Amino acid sequence: MNDPKFRVLHTMMRVKDLDKSIDFYSRLLGMQLLKKLEYPEGKFTLAFLGYGPEETHAVIELTYNWDQDVPYDLGNGYGHIALGVRNIYDICAELEANGARIPRPAGPMKHGTTVIAFVEDPDGYKIELIDLDTLS
């Protein structure tokens, strides 16, 4: 395989409560906290989480601005992050039992057979779960 000219590095999201978001992505979605960087002069903290090292995997960058008092507007241009899973029904039940909000329960997508679900992180960002065994 040729070395690509470009590679996805990360998806950045601004979060209101960094500890709560790190807990959600690591404990509930199984990502590892890869690094956490403090920028006192800029009054912000960055946390990078993923399923492998940044050198070989795309990761999530959570940005916490220390002086942000009001929730962020999620905007209408943001879609979602997609994660491939197996046993989607069991995973959704486990997420819900741990307090995660599941606005779209697991089931076949419209106009297809792939089974999907959506879960929301603590800030309301949507994460699509796609059952890899039904991916078409």
Residues known to be catalytic = 128
3-state secondary structure of 58: coil
Please tell me the distance from the alpha carbon of residue 20 to that of residue 24, in angstroms, as a whole number. 6
Q: Where are the beta strands (DSSP E) in 1-136?
A: 10-14, 32-39, 44-50, 59-65, 81-85, 101-108, 115-120, 126-131
Please tell me the distance from the alpha carbon of residue 29 to that of residue 25, in angstroms, as a whole number. 5
